[in-house]
Amino acid sequence: MNRLIVLMITGALCAFTFAANYDGGRRAEVLFLGQKGTIHATWLATKLFKSGINLTYTENAADLNAENLSAYDGVIINASAPLLTPARDAALKQFVASGKGLVILNKGAAMFKNAPWAARSGTEGKGRIFYTKEGTKDEEWKQLLFLDKMKDSISWALGENVRQQIIAANIPDVDIYNSDTIADYTKRYLVPKMQEALSPEQSNKLTQVPVDFEIKLFAAEPDITKPIAMTWDERGRLWIVESVDYPNAFTEIDSAANDRIKICEDTDGDGKADKFTIFADSLNIPTSIVLTNGGAIVSMAPNFLFLKDTNGDDKADVREVLFTGWGKQDTHAGPSNLIYGFNNRIWGVVGFSGFDGTMNGKPLRFPMGVYNFKPNGEDFNFLAKTSNNTWGLGFTEDNHVFISTANNTHSAYYSMPAGFLQRTLSGAQPLDAVQKIDGHYDVHAMTPNLRQVDVMGGFTSATGHHFYTARNFPKSYWNRIAFINEPTVRLVHEAVIEPDGAGFKEKDGWNLMASSDEWFGPVQAQTGPDGAVWVADWYNFIIQHNVFVKEQAPREMVLPFTEQPHGKGNAFESKLRDVAHGRIYRVVYKKGKTSAPMQLKAGDVPGLTAALKNDNMFWRMTAQRLLVEGQHKEAIPALYKIIQDVKVDEIGLNGPAVHALWTLQGLGAYDAASMAVITRALKHPAAGVRKAAVEVLKEEKKGLAAILQSNIINDRNLQVRLAVLKSLADYPASKETGALLFKAALNAQNAKDPWLSRALFAAAVTHEDGFLAAAATGAPNAFAKNVIKSLEQTVYSLDPRAIMQNPPDITGKEIIIKGTVGKRRERPVEGLIMAHGNQQNGYGLYIREGKLVMVVNQQGKSYQAVTTDTLPEKMEVEAKLLKTGDIRILVDGKEAAKGKAPGLFTAPATVVLRAGEEQLPDQKVADYKGRFNFTGQLQNATLQLDRPVKKSTLAPGAETPGIVIDLKVVKDIMQYDKKRITVKAGQKVTIRLENPDGMQHNLLILKPGTLPKVGAAADAMVRDPQASKMQYVPKVPEVLWATKLVSPGETVSLRFTAPSRAGEYPFVCTFPGHWRGMNGIMQVIN
């Protein structure tokens, strides 16, 4: 039987588990059988909640069995499911006859054609049946009369005994909306007053978990306050990060430093913390913590700190800055989610505040994304960008990495370093290194009014992505359910993550917790040492960070106040922000096993190797960390035995072997004996172990031979195959590997899978000569031909203000730089467009003193092409180095300058490629000064590297647009900076859209008078799993032109010919929830 998807019915009144009793009463439990693509269950649940009825949702008719039905007081059928089987018919009939209720809604009647006992409303035995043909249209479910009728009818069907038990529960009423008058839960409503804070006991009455689960309080105010992050040590003690300075009190300005790290212990075994030790204080807005090397690394923008206790009193007496440069301009967009990863590195994410500083002794700048580094702070790697503000990271037990972003991407899969995707693969669809995989838009909130700023009804403040990685919960949770917190709608979501080829997809698992307490604010949910899921409750009436826009989220419909000045951390200021409350809960499965308390010691090698076999990943990872930190090589024989154990658990995993392999890697164990053990693990029955063996071998050059000889490139598990291809991309170039990759390219499965095809291309780039040599004597298929084409003509997108982590090899390649350059307001245009290499060996393109310069440096000598004519304010630029050594610059398709170099480069440019500014002033390509920031606009910039061909490489000139309009997103406000633009009928138009905001936006031009219709289509499409791939552009004829989704920091151009008919043509952003406020008019005149 599939685990039921549980919907918590809260509203503004109450919630609890089936077995919970409050003052002698309890809430009712009903099972709702629905079907995919509808939201009726969510709306009904919100309505029923205030009446004391919890609703559990399923789409599986097999859940209508006697054992499962025994947990419920009633069943609601609203699905076009097949006819009842005899067994299900008998189970339901007995269920009703025993005194329970059955409610059949319109389409559900089809199931009962062969069940005359359920043909009409009435009684059956001791039970009751209600049948209605109403509710076929969504609009009916938004009508108060219909919802009241449904509530009353379901209450009648449950019976008098259940109704009396609900009354006896005496659940408090904290309704601040007069929600009995609310029917359409998709709209915003006034917030007339503020709910008072509740005690943990009263709050729990308003918070529901699934049937057979319960909430246990571990710690609360006054002992703790405002827990923003948490972790555990090797003794199983909870460490929390408390931040009362968040979001706007800054040390740099206010001398604020009121935040702390606190150790919380349960010393008497009663399940509640009774000892609290302040490990470190005088901190200012710390946001994450990870334990390592006997201390703690804490993210506290602009710094990462290492704190350590050296005398055993649990108080930090060492405080070191590991690195600095993290953005603090917006405190809800800083670094977070520090985790010790399988590869013995610290992982983390950061929001759009990003990083601008020095790493590994070199300047580095990056936006929101994912990164890792060694526990000592060395060897920092920025791995990939995310699409918007980011505060979630998690690992599966077989070392797959997932991320949540705040806005409309609550689940994303990190598949490979972004460097593997820098080059364009011909014929392939775009793929991001951090790829959105969530399969649904809606949250299932229990409050009747969602106080959200944007992405209304969806995820707008998603945090965390920790998986269930123990064995105390039901099997359906194991390594499959991720917990995504959404504090603005007061819930912890269950994201069901399932394999999808070499990648993954997410399905809607509804909620682990949901509350109608308007203060409940879960920010982290994670499997703890005891196998329960621990939840950090920020507990604050105000969760929202951003200011509100009248057209988008009127203030009076989000908070009961009107003023909203910005604070230092870019959050609105309000005296209603709380600093006194905070709770830590444990969600426990009542039928699960009880894990005995345990502790680990750093020097206890037998104890640590034994802990590697624990069924809770927390203990396995902690043991791995301690073995590696202590460099306990005496553990190696025990590690061999764990790896050689070929048993798998009920879901096909062998977690101990995975950790043992990574422990070998951390110990540097690559001698002959260790290599033999790791190589044999390539044949292990558990796919996760085979994947780990591949990844561990990648860390050693000798591992390549083992991978090539094993045939694991054809592994039956596509995620193992992906790991092989990524590993091959990192090995030194070899003809043998290139030939193997060409053979793999002929495999239709590799060609079809989006992740495998891109990883194979990345590996082919590394082993280019071998791949092409094999292709020359082979018979390439369509995919292999696309790879060959892409190898011979290399195209990179140039990201302004970024360093290309894996710069291209320019040896023997023609170089073509293209882009659109224009003025940014009234400033003169100058600065570095791009640079690769240095003055000894490299090239670049820049503007200085009104002249466009391409410089080529070879063997310490410099060669240039420099324009002489006045440059236009807006121009298409093309600069190239040809096989003849000719340097040419074209402006708007016409030759504007030329020069001469000896020829193509004969050696790689070893200094990384950078664009938009000189991030490496000591490695500049010309004699400009400082960072030489580019002051203009740079759009659609690309670097093309071609193998020389006989035909001319001159491209036709670009047609100069008739009018260029600069349009900009107003940061944090969800509006364009212009409400009206004017163009002439039939004029060629280029609209340059710049996005400095922290979330994605787009731009659509519509037919006159169609904004409401297109807006309605935009609202409807958000529930389409393919909507993001469609760039959130509705497929309706009213849309004339549209851009792609523009990520933070990007600029795109939309080119079109203005309509011939004069009129007012709306322009709009259709990212979820934006269209009502983010729109304007394009006036077309004759």
In this prediction, residue 302 has a pLDDT band, given cuts at 50, 70 and 90, of: very high
Q: Name the fold adopted by 221-421+428-589.
A: Neuraminidase (2.120.10)
Q: What are phi and psi of 920, to 5 degrees?
A: -125, 75
At which residue do the structure tokens 């020359």 appear?
776
Q: How far is CA 76 from CA 99, 102, 104, 1017, in A?
A: 15, 6, 6, 30
Q: Report which of 645, 684, 642, 690 is spatially closest to residue 663, judged by C-alpha positions.
A: 642
DSSP H helices in 7-139: 40-49, 66-69, 86-97
d(CA 161, CA 169): 13
At which residue do the structure tokens 């703690």 appear?
296
d(CA 812, CA 990): 36
Report angle CA 732, 501, 728 to the nearest 5 degrees. 5
Task: Report which residue type is found at 931.
Answer: R
Q: Does domain 5-171 have CATH number 3.30.360.10?
A: no
Whether 745 contacts 715, CB under 8 Å: no
d(CA 897, CA 889): 5
Q: Name the fold adopted by 798-946.
A: Jelly Rolls (2.60.120)
For the chain, give the mean pLDDT: 92
How large is the average pLDDT for residues 526-544?
Answer: 97
Whole-angstrom Cα Rg for the chain? 30
d(CA 657, CA 646): 9
Burial 650-683 (b: 16+ CB within 10 A, else e): eeebbbbbbbbbbbbbbbebbeeebbebbbbbbe
d(CA 395, CA 4): 24
Please give the full DSSP string across 880-918, using - where no structure is assigned: EE-TTSEEEEEETTEEEEEEE-SSS-SS---SPEEESS-
Within 13 Å of residue 933, how many CA atoms lie on the same side as its CB? 5
Q: Report which of 888, 913, 916 is spatially closest to residue 831, judged by C-alpha positions.
A: 916
Over the stretch 935-968, which tens digit does the pLDDT of each residue have? Answer: 998 888 899 998 775 433 233 433 435 898 999 9
| 3-class secondary-structure state, position 663 | helix
Q: How far is CA 855 from CA 840, 909, 938, 1085, in A?
A: 12, 14, 19, 45
In this prediction, residue 13 carries a pLDDT of 27
In 479-582, at which residue ranges do the beta strands (DSSP E only) sit?
A: 481-486, 491-500, 503-515, 522-527, 533-537
Please give the full DSSP string across 837-890, using - where no structure is assigned: E-SSSEEEEEEETTEEEEEEEETTEEEEEE--SPPPSEEEEEEEE-TTSEEEEE
CB neighbours (10 Å) of residue 16?
26
d(CA 1031, CA 699): 38
In this prediction, residue 141 carries a pLDDT of 92
In this prediction, residue 954 carries a pLDDT of 30
- Which of 196-200, 204-208, 414-418 has the weakest average pLDDT? 204-208
Tokens describing residue 827 = 């400033």
d(CA 927, CA 844): 12
Element holding 600 (H helix, E strand): none
CA dihedral 566, 568, 569, 575 (to 10 degrees): -60
In this prediction, residue 972 carries a pLDDT of 81
Over the stretch 692-722, which tens digit does the pLDDT of each residue have? Answer: 999 999 888 889 999 999 999 999 999 999 9
Over the stretch 796-834, which tens digit does the pLDDT of each residue have? Answer: 888 776 777 677 889 999 999 999 998 887 789 999 999
Q: Among 197-206, 462-471, 808-817, name the most confident range.
A: 462-471
Q: How far apart are the first and last CA of the chain?
A: 67
Q: Report which of 703, 732, 720 is spatially closest to residue 759, judged by C-alpha positions.
A: 720
Task: Answer whether residue 888 shows pLDDT above 90.
Answer: yes
Report angle CA 1070, 387, 731 to the nearest 5 degrees. 145
Over the stretch 237-292, which tens digit does the pLDDT of each residue have? Answer: 999 999 999 999 998 777 789 999 999 999 999 999 999 999 999 999 999 999 99
Whether 30 contacts 100, CB under 8 Å: no
User: What is the DSSP code (8-state) at residue 119?
Assistant: S
Over the stretch 835-857, which tens digit does the pLDDT of each residue have? Answer: 999 999 999 999 999 999 999 99
In terms of CATH architecture, what is 603-700? Alpha Horseshoe (1.25)
Over the stretch 911-941, which tens digit does the pLDDT of each residue have? Answer: 989 999 898 888 999 999 998 999 998 888 8
Q: Has this prediction a pTM greater than 0.85? A: yes
Tokens describing residue 120 = 């009409």
- The residues that bridge with 963 in the sheet, in sequence order, are 989
- The residues that bridge with 970 in the sheet, in sequence order, are 975
DSSP H helices in 652-793: 655-666, 672-680, 687-697, 703-710, 718-730, 735-745, 748-752, 754-766, 768-777, 782-792
Tokens describing residue 849 = 């003193």
In this prediction, residue 5 has a pLDDT band, given cuts at 50, 70 and 90, of: very low
How large is the average pLDDT for residues 645-657?
Answer: 98
Domain spanning 963-1085: which superfamily? Cupredoxins -  blue copper proteins (2.60.40.420)
In this prediction, residue 805 carries a pLDDT of 64
